[in-house]
Amino acid sequence: MTEAAVTAPRQLTRRRMKSRPPLLIGLCLGFMALVLLVAVFGEALAPQDPSQQDVLGSLAPPSAEHWLGTDGLGRDVFSRMLAGARSAIMGPLVIAVVAMVCGNLLGLLAGYRAGLVDSLLMRWVDLMVAIPSLLIIIVVAGALGGGYWLAVALLTILTIPTDARVMRAATLEQVPRPYVEAAKTLGVSNGRIMVRHIWPNIAATAVANSVIIFAGSLVAIAGLSFLGLGAAPGTPDWGQMLSENQPLLFTNPVASIAPGIAIALTATAVNLIGDWVYEKMSRRGAAR
Amino acid sequence: MSETTRTRGWRGRRARIVSCLLTTALLAACAGNGPAGEDGDGAAGNGERPADTARTVDPGAPVSDEHIAQLDVGIPGKVTLVDPADNMEAGLNVNQLGLEPLLRIDPDGELQPWLATEWEQVSDTVYEYTLREGVTFWDGTELTAEDVKYSWDHLRAPESRRATYFAAVDTVEAVDAGTVRVTLTQPDASWQYTPAMWYSVIFQKKFAEETGDAFGQPGTLLVATGPWKFDSVNPASGMELSAYEGYWGGKPPIDRISVKSFADDNSMALALRAGEIDIAPVVSGPTGFDAAAGGNTVTTVETCGTARMSLPMRRAPWDDVHVRRAVAHAINRDDIVAAAQGAAAGPAVYAISPRLLQTLGTEEEVQTALEEIETYPYDLEAAEAELAQSSVPDGFDFDLTVPPSSAAIAEVIAAQLGEIGIDIAVEVLPDTAWYAALREDVRPLTFSATGACTPDPDWDSIFFDTDESGEPIGLNMAQYSSPEVSALWAEGLLEQDPAQRLRIYTDLQKQVAEDVPYISLFAEGTTYASTTYDIAEYNSYFWMNLPWALNLVPK
């Protein structure tokens, strides 16, 4: 048997191991899969009606009947946690996707076309980035009475410029490269060059940035709900629950801490997955 | 009703409106915090608590003989000044340690002497007060009628925050050094309590004149007669007081009092737990506070305030009395009391708190009168039957608009009305937006608290105010306009005979119960917290009219 024949399976194994996510990322992926499952089927999975009040039975500690106890109105905290996963995931997902589509298009356009288009778009971006986003959202949402989808819309509008700026920088890096010059020489349309040639090369940045936006939006929406400017009162929502159950810290600590843990774990998991995806896509791009 | 009567009514009520709004915010804050007390009255037990016991000692004397070198008091909010014409809620509780009124209201709502030893209603519109001899200010000079006149003129000046409490006053005169005469513009049965309230306190004329615009400011302070002198006020941190050795009631039992400001109940509770403060005279979220402070710290007593839901009668379908009656039957007050989490002292069913009627008759007489009034007990079948007769037999959708701190109670109400097919969406507005909504032409479905009050039933008239053309104004959140009810409120104010007044207010409540513009939810509670001391005679809101630290008793 030749040496090559002996080493080949080892290299294959090593390559396979490299392609596998590390344990931490595996845990994060598992956790996020669980969160997504709960977000889709949360209300059906909940052992009790998340909105059912039992005021006289409020503030019960964790028990077999109420795994995380009950809140100030006697509602089952565990069931509300499950039902709250949907609003925790839905809004950030919408923000990340819309911001990614719009931000990528604007970034590509500014970076590729340069000149007046770039100047106009970037001055707008400068203006938007200079605005303290959360403060503006608090003021606008406060003035308009708040609401979950209003918060999502405002966050989306204020996130697009950030994404556009990142994608412009990535595009600027690609524009002088020979493959872009070659495409131009061959007469490929500008739109096609941007979308079919440049974007695939900056996709890792796009995806990673969107994941960061998702995690940031998750925390921001929870914060707005905490301030009463997000989800409507009574809605099972992690941020809302954090606010509602805050005074219960000394009576049913689990009820006030659990939503916070869920928000922190989800945001951390998403960020770690984002980093891992970026590394993986970058490595693939470099290999190409 | 004469024009002057109406004018007085509105002007005289504006300050109460402000007071109610402020207290509403404070009490509403209670509703959102902390768990419910098992018995709905905080630390209330079956036995008599010091808070329920009356002062039996002489005016000015401490209830307990125990000497206290240092008392640390925690209050929510900051003390920015001590001018009684201008200070706000946070400062009121400590202002009373140094500033005193002429009279005191006892737990039964009866007037008792304090700085004045005698008082007399000379005619329907003239009252005379005889000052106690030997009362001195902190600089040793004697209290005179001129000081009382100056103080009340200062408090009723147009720029004073307290001006409208004195709207019925025509003149204040110093008849001689020890006699003050007050002449009203018209008979007003509720005036008798004004000289006993926290907004009628007395300070030295000489010092006020000397200091001019700086009077009452942190660097200047003031001179008064109370048992504790104001040594310093720091708007950022609190206030320092020390005993006035020459106090007319004898040497005060506490040498020094430090008042510390806190941003919220939780930080105050943790300070109590850590021993940084000895007592918090006002706690907004009793059960949450108690849990954070380590338990067995709070005492709650029932007040004369009523938290009530207002039904906007000029908006469909609330213009249908069957809808309003259906809602009245669908409300389960026990759940709402529990959701108020210690801030509610018990269910309330009447338009006027029974505590405000206690000066008009014996307990039996008042009870007999109340039995005439329909109270709409919790009964879902009756609620459904009423709704079936209405314009919306299949139910309807509506917003319940509340400030953020009231969201918990609003959710309970929404769930209860859902039982009869009324789909309520809870709309939470920031405090300022909610206050603004209360003044809009199109009023919201909401609920609010009454707040601190005198023992006179006329206090609750602010929720029924109308102008001369019968249009609802002020805090008439239900936009309720009934000529009969307006006439009865006016009659009650002019009538001097207690028995007649009880009859008038009973008739008034019967009419209101028939129309259901409001649904009373719970009797508001007031709460103090301490592991070391109790406050005797912490009854209703009247405790805050006097130097309450004189009523401290060791636990």
Identify the residue among B264, B284, B341 best suited for mutation to test binding to A, counting A beta carbons within 10 A and taking the highest: B341
Residue B339 contacts A where some CB pair is shorter than 8 Å: yes
pLDDT at res. B541:
62
CATH assignment at residue B328: 3.10.105.10
Residue A76 contacts B where some CB pair is shorter than 8 Å: no
Q: Measured between CA atoms, how close is A143 to chain B, in angstroms?
A: 8
CATH assignment at residue A158: 1.10.3720.10
Strand partners, B427: B401
Residue B376 lies in a domain: yes
DSSP three-state, residue B531: coil
pLDDT at res. B9:
45
CA distance B298 to B283: 8
**In chain A, whose CA is at the least distance from the CA of B415?**
A53
Q: What tokens does A257 get?
A: 């801490």
CA distance A107 to A135: 25
Residue A58 lies in a domain: no
Contact A228 B334 (CB under 8 A): no
Q: Which amino acid is at B465?
A: D
Residue B217 contacts A where some CB pair is shorter than 8 Å: no
Q: Measured between CA atoms, how close is B163 to chain A, in angstroms?
A: 33
Does a cis peptide bond (omega within 30 degrees of 0) precede residue B317? yes
CA nearest B116: which of B98, B108, B128? B128
Residue A145 contacts B where some CB pair is shorter than 8 Å: yes
Full residue range of the structural domain in which residue A214 is found: 22-37+67-287
Residue A77 lies in a domain: yes
CA distance B212 to B230: 18
CA distance B53 to B346: 19
The Cα-based distances of B159 to A243, B156, B164, B172 in angstroms read 40, 8, 10, 18
CA nearest B462: which of B348, B303, B310, B355? B310
Tell me the three-class secondary structure of A18-51, residue by residue. HHCCCHHHHHHHHHHHHHHHHHHHHHHHCCCCCC
The Cα-based distances of B288 to A89, B229, B271, B464, B524 in angstroms read 31, 33, 14, 34, 17
Please tell me the least confidently modeled range out of A1-5, A145-149, A216-220, B87-91: A1-5
CA distance A65 to B239: 50
Burial class from Cβ neighbours inside 10 Å (0-12, 13-18, 19+) for residue A185 reads: exposed
Residue A11: pLDDT above 80?
no
Q: Which residues of B touch A234 (CB under 8 A)?
A: 407, 411, 414, 426
Q: Which H/E stretch holds residue B290?
A: helix B286-293
Q: Measured between CA atoms, how close is B115 to chain A, in angstroms?
A: 43
Q: Give the number of other Cβ atoms within 10 Å of residue B268's Cβ.
A: 26
Strands (DSSP E) contained in B30-67 are none
In tens, the pLDDT along B140-170 reads 999 999 999 999 999 999 988 888 789 889 9
What backbone torsions phi and psi does residue B65 show, to the nearest 5 degrees?
-85, -5
Residue B281 lies in a domain: no
Residue matched to tokens 């930080």: B267
CA distance B312 to B480: 8
DSSP three-state, residue B427: strand
Identify the residue among A54, A73, A80, A138 best suited for mutation to test binding to B, counting B beta carbons within 10 A and taking the highest: A73
Q: Which residues of B touch A248 (CB under 8 A)?
A: 34-35, 288
Confirm if B490 and B2 have CB atoms less than 8 A apart.
no
Residue A3 lies in a domain: no
Q: What is the dihedral of CA B358, B362, B366, B369, to 10 degrees?
A: -150
Residue B342 contacts A where some CB pair is shorter than 8 Å: no
CA distance B147 to B222: 13
The DSSP code for B551 is G
In tens, the pLDDT along B387-443 reads 999 999 999 999 999 987 788 899 999 999 999 999 999 988 877 788 888 888 889
Q: Which residues of chain B have pLDDT under 50?
A: 1-15, 17-46
CA distance B292 to B269: 6
Full residue range of the structural domain in which residue B383 is found: 304-525
Q: How many domains does chain A have?
A: 1
Q: Which residues of A touch B266 (CB under 8 A)?
A: 247, 249
Give the burial string for B486-501 (b: 16+ CB within 10 Å, else e).
bebbbbbbbbeeeeeb
Q: What is the length of chain B?
A: 555
Residue A10: pLDDT above 70?
no
Confirm if B26 and B284 have CB atoms less than 8 A apart.
yes
Helix locations, B427-482, DSSP H: 431-439
Identify the residue among A242, A250, A254 best suited for mutation to test binding to B, counting B beta carbons within 10 A and taking the highest: A250
Residue A11 lies in a domain: no
Chain centroid, CA B127 distance in Å: 24
Ramachandran region of residue B404, left (φ > 0), alpha (ψ -120 to 50) or beta?
alpha
Terminal-residue alpha carbon distance, chain A: 33
In tens, the pLDDT along B287-307 reads 888 988 988 899 988 888 899
Confirm if B148 and B208 have CB atoms less than 8 A apart.
no
Rg, Å, chain A Cα set: 23
Q: Measured between CA atoms, how close is A91 to chain B, in angstroms?
A: 21
Residue matched to tokens 């396979």: A16
Residue A51 lies in a domain: no
The ipTM (two decimal places) reads: 0.71
CA distance B470 to B481: 6
Residue A271 lies in a domain: yes
pLDDT at res. B161:
82
Q: Which H/E stretch holds residue B75?
A: strand B68-76
Q: Which amino acid is at A99?
A: A
Q: What tokens does B338 get?
A: 């529990």
Residue A5 lies in a domain: no
pLDDT at res. A198:
95
Q: What tokens does B520 get?
A: 């009373």
Rg, Å, chain B Cα set: 23
Q: Which residues contact A230 (CB under 8 A, 6 or more apart)?
A: A141, A146, A147, A148, A151, A221, A222, A223, A224, A237, A239, A240
Q: Which H/E stretch holds residue B416?
A: helix B407-418
Tell me the three-class secondary structure of chain A, residue by residue. CCHHHHHHHHHHHHHHHHHCCCHHHHHHHHHHHHHHHHHHHHHHHCCCCCCCCCHHHCCCCCCCCCCCCECCCCCEHHHHHHHHHHHHHHHHHHHHHHHHHHHHHHHHHHHHHCHHHHHHHHHHHHHHHHCCHHHHHHHHHHHHCCCHHHHHHHHHHHHHHHHHHHHHHHHHHHCCCHHHHHHHHCCCCHHHHHHHHHHHHHHHHHHHHHHHHHHHHHHHHHHHHHCCCCCCCCCCCHHHHHHHCHHHHHCCHHHHHHHHHHHHHHHHHHHHHHHHHHHHHHHHHHHC
Q: Which residues of A touch B411 (CB under 8 A)?
A: 53, 73, 233-234
Q: Most confidently modeled of A121-125, A278-282, B159-163?
A: A121-125
Residue B328 lies in a domain: yes
In tens, the pLDDT along A75-97 reads 999 999 999 999 999 999 999 99
Chain centroid, CA A181 distance in Å: 35
**In chain B, whose CA is at the least distance from the CA of A143?**
B433
Burial class from Cβ neighbours inside 10 Å (0-12, 13-18, 19+) for residue A53 reads: buried
Chain B residues 29-48 within an 8 A CB cutoff of chain A? 32-36
Handedness of CA A276, A279, A282, A286 (dihedral sign): negative
DSSP three-state, residue B7: helix
Q: Measured between CA atoms, how close is B268 to chain A, in angstroms?
A: 13
Give the burial string for B170-201 (b: 16+ CB within 10 Å, else e).
eebebeeebbbbbbbeebbbbbbbbbbbbbbb
pLDDT at res. B103:
96
Q: What tokens does B193 get?
A: 């309590």
**In chain B, whose CA is at the least distance from the CA of A139?**
B430
Residue A27 contacts B where some CB pair is shorter than 8 Å: no
pTM for this predicted structure? 0.77
Residue A48 contacts B where some CB pair is shorter than 8 Å: no
| Of A56, A234, A247, Cβ closest to residue B338 | A56
CA distance B220 to A158: 50
Strand partners, B525: B302
CA nearest A211: which of A93, A62, A113? A93
CA distance B200 to B87: 13
Q: Which residues contact B414 (CB under 8 A, 6 or more apart)?
A: A234, B400, B424, B425, B426
Q: How many domains does chain B have?
A: 1
